[in-house]
Amino acid sequence: MKKTFTFIALLMFCMALFAGGSNEQSSDIPASVSLSDKSEVTVAVTQNLVSLDVGTTPSGASLAVFDMIYDYLVDSDHNGNLMPQLATSWEVSEDNLTWTFHLREGVKFHNGEDFTSDDVVFTFERMQENPSKYPLYSANNFSLIVSVDAIDDYTVTFTTSEPFGALLTSLSGMAIIPADTVRELGDAFFTEGYCYGTGPWKFEEWIDGQYISFTRNDEYWAGQTSNVDRLVMRFITESSSIVAGLISGTIDATGRVPSDMLSQFDGHPEIILDTVDTSQILIIGLQCGDYSPFHDENVRKAFSYAIDRQLLCDAIMGGGKASNSIMSEGTLGYDANVKMPYDPELAKQLLSESDYNGEPITLYVNTAVVQGEEIMLAVCDMVNSVGFNCNIQMVEQAYINEVRVSGDYDAYVVTASFTGGDPYGYLNQRVLSDSHHHNYADPEINDYITLSNRETDQTQRNEYLKSAVGLMSEHCAPQIALFCYEYNTAIRDGVEGIEYSPEGLYYFDDVYIDK
Amino acid sequence: MGKYILRRLGATIVVLFFATLITFILIRLAPGNPALMMLADSATPEEIAAMEAYLGLDKPVIVQYLIYIAGIFKGDFGTSIMYQRPCIDIILSRLPATALLTFAGCTVGLLVAIPLGVLAGVKQGSMVDLSAMTFALLGQSMATVWLAVLLVLIFSVHLGWLPALGYGTFKHLILPAITIGFPLASQTTRLARSGMVDVLKEDYITSTYAKGISRRQVYTKYAFKNAMLPVITIVGLQIAGYLGGAVVTEQVFSWPGLGALMVSAIGNRDYPLVQSTLLVVAVMVSLVNLIVDIINCLVDRRMTLN
Amino acid sequence: MEHALIEIKDLKVEFKTERATAYALNGVNLEIKKGESLGLVGEAGAGKTTTALSILNLLAKPAAHIMGGDVLYKGTSVFSMSEKKLRDIRGKEISMIFQNPLTSLNPVFTVGEQIAMVLRTHKNLGKKEAFQEAGKLLETVGIASYRLSDYPHQFSGGMRQRVGIAASLACNPELLIADEPTTALDVTIQAQILELMKDLQDKYSTSLLMITHNLGIISELCQKVAVMYAGRIIEYGTVKEVFKYPAHPYTKGLLGAIPRLDVDSDHLEVIPGNIANVHHLPSGCKFHPRCAFCKKECEQEEPAMNRINDNHYVACYINEGGL
């Protein structure tokens, strides 16, 4: 009996050590309930941050984080407009292949080092040496950049292999890192927690799966107006937890409250609710190969016209905007004159005239789509009532990825957004290159896309984009858009400066407390 | 005892080998692959192929497995594709949270269940017994997520006594521990109760009373030890289960444990991380099982380690 | 007049469950004097163990109900004693050896602990001293003291029974109740145990209630004998008297059923029929359905205990007033 006791006691002791040890390493996060005596803000993001490396796969969490710590050559307002940040001005050569950027002088990294052209060159070349290791390279189309050269300490040139109209948008996602330190430390710069940049906030600490925290950079080159000493960004996947956190005071702001949870805030006037229009759309990608019912344009049109997009917004989403094309107001390529009617009678007619004979059609719906099942069940109802035989299957992201590589699908349903409000990436990969194997190639659309790629004059480029996008809506291929999401934000009264971009992402670098 | 432990370790290694092999195969059978998950969904086929080569996925599966196993023997558990850091670092950083939650939850559960179960067994048919059984029924019928959200609603949102989520202080631990402890407590209460009821009927208890031993001593010592025998095994199994990660609890409370890690690793098809996390969990489960078996033999000397 | 050590007066005990009631004891009358050894004989199910447990007030609640009568220990009713008083008596003044050695020891405690617990409780010994004493007690029953830290499953049935005996003698009880102590053991072990008990009787003059269905043991160990049937004592007296001149047909049957080496016989005498069903007891004399000498009155009314002589009493209409 004695031996048993000793054994169990030892076991418990070991576990207690574990517990004690772990308690020591994670810091106490005080709840910022009363803002009058605290100068700390805690926000919730629904995605988990996995890496501090600026070359990692862009995600909602990573974009928000890098925005705090780093700066970019150009800053995007997420509506397609680009402003100078670390680059004060730029020109393009006559052959449209060389871009020259003039860099801002007097900018310092958080450790006091000067920002120079070397940092820009290094940031790029690091990815170029090992593109597979840095998914940002692929995500922002950096393969089109042949080389980056430092002309002098404050001048850099980017040479592209072909005219690259969206270079500025791509560069607005490339955070500039300190060359000397990263050369020396390598990946440890990120994994060991140095990660400093030139941005308005300094990195404090990151506990995987929990939160990342920042402290204010009072030496920010553009001047610092925030009065918040510390910002904590918590990663919380469960919506009900976020709501509970807001009400109980652990969290001060969040950007994605499901509409059915808004009523939880009744009786809590200290939480201010608002809505944000985004350009994030729900698209249905249609398989246009010979073997598919959607090969026939009339079938596609019947499908699209049978859907009452406005009803989906009103009845299910409690907000949002019905789409006439893949782009939305405020983004490049948007044209209010494009028509996408809701006409079930016409749909029925078009369908009956086609060769479609009631073959079953399966729509793969990504489980990550907010209220995806609800929406698509309604859509099925709508299209089935004009003669389709559709059903849905909820699948995870990895599954969608795989079927899009093989082309083995009738249709898939996902959300899409446009970095910087620019459809460059979308049009090139999903339409021109058909990386998702829709088997749809319209020479007219492709021509417009190519023209827009090469056009460096932004106004003319927009015209080409409008044409391409408009034709997509006309032919209902290769994807049709249903609506743009509207997000519900919940912010504690007094916390200001949180920006919600039309991409559906939110940025905290301008946060301040209004007491 | 030493020989037995060695034999068990040998058997464990075989089990672990099969566990890794099965995981290896299963995760690769799932649609999608890490290269697709890492790249933005606008990547070109060349970029995908390059990424696959970079991740070593272009090699035949058997070769990939052998490379992985060889790595394990060298102490290299692979590099997480998502995190771009050694898997073992990530797992070890999450392990304390899971261990703490398991330990706290089981402690809470047992502290409630054992006295309650014993009391219910002793006072069979009384109000105490009825309440205990109702409590046990509730616990076993409640869905974890429902209980978790309910606790948050009451103690965090309405009363404001405890934080709704997070990790780091004792206050953060209370609600998640209760969420874990409650179903465990229900099961254990029933076991302790029935164990007690059965034992009290035994001849040796009558003979103990005939020696003039008090009821209290019988309930807390001489019948107690016997009644707890089935409890030990069941609780051991539960602990092993929770060490694998209490996913729902972790998600609701934003508890940075292994469960949430495993789920996101699987969703992202992070092969090395899935494999390594499973291996670590399997090791822990084996260890717990071994400890339970040893404890069982120490407590009940009739059982031998064969 | 001094009270006998134990007086059982017209004890009636029923076991009530949801389904049925078992009439275990139907008016038991017994007496054990100081220093006396009484054998209690009867078939399985007669009520012997119930009688023994009621002396210690250890009948299983909630099923057991005392429907009438009393058990007096040194003149005080055990049913009116406080829990504390009872605990003081149990294991110290009155000890019990249980029938099945395989189930009467706790499997997860050492035998040393199971003897020491008695010493710690009653003699207030510390842990170490209690174990030392326990070791000595084991030696007296013929088990090496180094086996104190062994567990019951490491002993044979006979040795386990000896452990039980050691525990029961730890505090030198005034009365030792032995409930079929050798029934589960083979003959050679039986002999050993009996030797042991005789030894102890001689040394300490402990009163003994020896419960058994083995008449041979009674003739070896006991001065008095009581024959029990269907929860009643139907014959009582000194061993010499009762065994030589059995008065009750049942007792005759029991004695007749013993095979004898000195008599040439092809068959054993058997008592026809089965033991009375405790749920549905016959009217009148409980034995009458099996009795060859059954008369009308036997069926109607229960016979009272009749005195044959000072050393012999019987409850039977056939043998009133003696042979």
Q: How do strand A40-45 and strand A253-254 relate by DSSP bridges? A: parallel
Q: Are the C-beta atoms of residues A483 and A311 closer than 8 Å to each other?
A: no
Give yes or no: residues A348 and A467 share one domain.
Answer: yes
For helices B170-200 and B144-151, give the axis angle rounded to 10 degrees.
130
More confident residue, A177 or A35: A177
A8 touches chain B (CB under 8 A): yes
> Is the pLDDT score of A6 beyond 60?
no
Give residue-wise pLDDT tens across range C142-174.
Answer: 889 899 999 999 999 888 998 998 999 888 899
Please tell me which residue of chain B has the smallest CA distance to C123: B212
A89 touches chain B (CB under 8 A): no
pLDDT of residue C2: 67
More confident residue, A447 or C183: A447
More confident residue, B306 or B163: B163
pLDDT of residue B306: 58
> Is the pLDDT score of A146 beyond 60?
yes
pLDDT of residue A278: 86
What's the average model confidence in pLDDT over B197-223? 93
Do B229 and C108 count as a contact with CB atoms less than 8 A apart? yes
Residue A500 pLDDT level (bands cut at 50, 70, 90): confident
Give yes or no: residues A287 and A431 share one domain.
Answer: yes
Give residue-wise pLDDT tens across range C79-99.
Answer: 999 999 999 999 999 999 998
Q: Name the nearest CA neighbour of A403 among A251, A292, A261.
A: A292
C193 touches chain B (CB under 8 A): no
- Listing DSSP states for C247-301 in one string gives -SHHHHHHHHTS--SSS--SS-----S-PPPTTSPPSSSTTGGG-TT--HHHHHS
> Is the pLDDT score of B183 beyond 70?
yes
**Which of B122, B204, B218, B295 to substitute to test the interface with C, most C CBs within 10 Å?**
B204
What's the average model confidence in pLDDT over A289-313? 94
Percent of chain B with pLDDT over 90: 51
B226 touches chain C (CB under 8 A): yes
Percent of chain A with pLDDT over 90: 56
Mean pLDDT of chain B: 89
Structural domain contains residue A58: no
What's the average model confidence in pLDDT over C54-81? 90
Give yes or no: residues A303 and A407 share one domain.
Answer: yes
Q: Containing domain of residue A122, as a range?
A: 70-179
Do A247 and B253 count as a contact with CB atoms less than 8 A apart? no
Long-range contacts of the stretch B288-292 (C-beta < 8 A, 24+): B288/B236, B288/B239, B288/B240, B288/B243, B289/B236, B289/B240, B290/B5, B290/B8, B290/B12, B291/A11, B291/B236, B292/B232, B292/B233, B292/B236, B292/B237
> Is the pLDDT score of A251 beyond 80?
yes
Residue in B212, B225, B300 closest to C121 by CB = B212
> Is the pLDDT score of C322 beyond 70?
no
What's the average model confidence in pLDDT over A193-204? 92
> Is the pLDDT score of C311 beyond 80?
yes
**Which of C104, C115, C176, C179 to substitute to test the interface with B, most B CBs within 10 Å?**
C104
pLDDT of residue A26: 35
More confident residue, A138 or C270: A138
Dihedrals φ, ψ of A53, to 5°?
Answer: -70, 130
Give yes or no: residues A308 and A413 share one domain.
Answer: yes
| Angle, CA of C202, C205 and C209, to the nearest 5° | 105
Give yes or no: residues A77 and A8 share one domain.
Answer: no
Give residue-wise pLDDT tens across range B272-302.
Answer: 999 999 999 999 998 898 888 888 888 888 8
Rounded distance, CA B77 to CA A400, Å?
Answer: 29
Q: Which chains touch C (3 or more CB pairs under 8 A)?
A: B
Residue A14 pLDDT level (bands cut at 50, 70, 90): low
pLDDT of residue A310: 94
The number of distinct structural domains making up chain A is 2
Rounded distance, CA B165 to CA B249, Å?
Answer: 10
Q: Name the nearest CA neighbour of C209 among C225, C190, C198, C193.
A: C225
Give residue-wise pLDDT tens across range B78-127.
Answer: 889 888 889 999 999 999 999 999 999 999 999 999 999 999 999 988 99
pLDDT of residue C18: 84
Query: What's the CATH superfamily of B89-299?
Result: MetI-like (1.10.3720.10)
A244 touches chain B (CB under 8 A): yes
Percent of chain C with pLDDT over 90: 39
Give residue-wise pLDDT tens across range C220-252.
Answer: 889 999 999 988 999 999 999 898 888 888 888
Going from the C-alpha of A196 to that of each of A108, A175, B104, the distances in angstroms are 11, 11, 38
C165 touches chain B (CB under 8 A): no
What's the average model confidence in pLDDT over B249-272? 90
pLDDT of residue A23: 40
Count of CB contacts below 8 A, B vs C?
76
pLDDT of residue A32: 40
**What residue ranges of chain B are covered by domains with CATH 1.10.3720.10?**
89-299
pLDDT of residue B40: 66
Q: Which chains touch B (3 or more CB pairs under 8 A)?
A: A, C
Residue A11 pLDDT level (bands cut at 50, 70, 90): low
Do C107 and B300 count as a contact with CB atoms less than 8 A apart? yes
pLDDT of residue A106: 92
What's the average model confidence in pLDDT over A404-416? 92
Residue B180 pLDDT level (bands cut at 50, 70, 90): very high
Structural domain contains residue A317: yes
Residue A29 pLDDT level (bands cut at 50, 70, 90): very low
pLDDT of residue B242: 86
Tokens of C242: 């009762």
Lowest mean pLDDT among A142-151, A164-173, C4-13, C189-198: C189-198
Q: Which amino acid would we find at residue A328?
A: S
Residue C305 pLDDT level (bands cut at 50, 70, 90): confident
Return the biggest CA–CA distance within chain B. 85
Going from the C-alpha of C151 to that of each of A277, A477, C101, C164, the distances in angstroms are 77, 82, 13, 13
Residue A319 pLDDT level (bands cut at 50, 70, 90): confident
What CATH number has the domain bearing residue A111? 3.90.76.10
Give yes or no: residues A9 and A74 share one domain.
Answer: no
Give residue-wise pLDDT tens across range A71-110.
Answer: 999 998 766 688 999 999 999 999 989 999 999 999 999 9
Give yes or no: residues A83 and A6 share one domain.
Answer: no
pLDDT of residue A33: 44
CA dihedral angle for residue C42, residue C46, residue C49, residue C55, rounded to 10 degrees? -100
Rounded distance, CA A304 to CA A474, Å?
Answer: 11
Q: What is the pTM of this model?
A: 0.81
Q: What is the DSSP letter of C152?
A: G
pLDDT of residue A20: 43
Structural domain contains residue A120: yes
What CATH number has the domain bearing residue A387? 3.10.105.10
More confident residue, B139 or C204: B139
Give residue-wise pLDDT tens across range A343-363.
Answer: 999 999 999 999 899 899 999
Residue A8 pLDDT level (bands cut at 50, 70, 90): low
pLDDT of residue A368: 86
Give yes or no: residues A405 and A477 share one domain.
Answer: yes
Which residues in B lie closer than 8 A to residue A405 (C-beta atoms)?
36, 48
Which residues in C lie closer than 8 A to residue B304 (C-beta atoms)?
none
Structural domain contains residue A217: no
What's the average model confidence in pLDDT over C12-33? 89
pLDDT of residue C89: 93
Residues 19-48 of A with CB under 8 A from B: 19, 21-23, 26-29, 31, 48
Structural domain contains residue A228: no
Structural domain contains residue A264: no
Structural domain contains residue A55: no
Single out the residue in A179, A200, A218 at which a domain terminates.
A179
pLDDT of residue A24: 35
Please tell me which residue of chain C has the smallest CA distance to B299: C108
Lowest mean pLDDT among A268-272, C21-25, C290-294: C290-294
Percent of chain A with pLDDT over 70: 92
Single out the residue in A119, A153, A179 at which a domain terminates.
A179
pLDDT of residue A4: 53
- Listing DSSP states for A376-399 in one string gives HHHHHHHHHTTT--EEEEEE-HHH
Single out the residue in A156, A179, A202 at which a domain terminates.
A179
Give yes or no: residues A443 and A300 share one domain.
Answer: yes
Cα distance between the two ends of chain A: 63
Q: Which amino acid would we find at residue A69?
A: I
Give yes or no: residues A335 and A440 share one domain.
Answer: yes
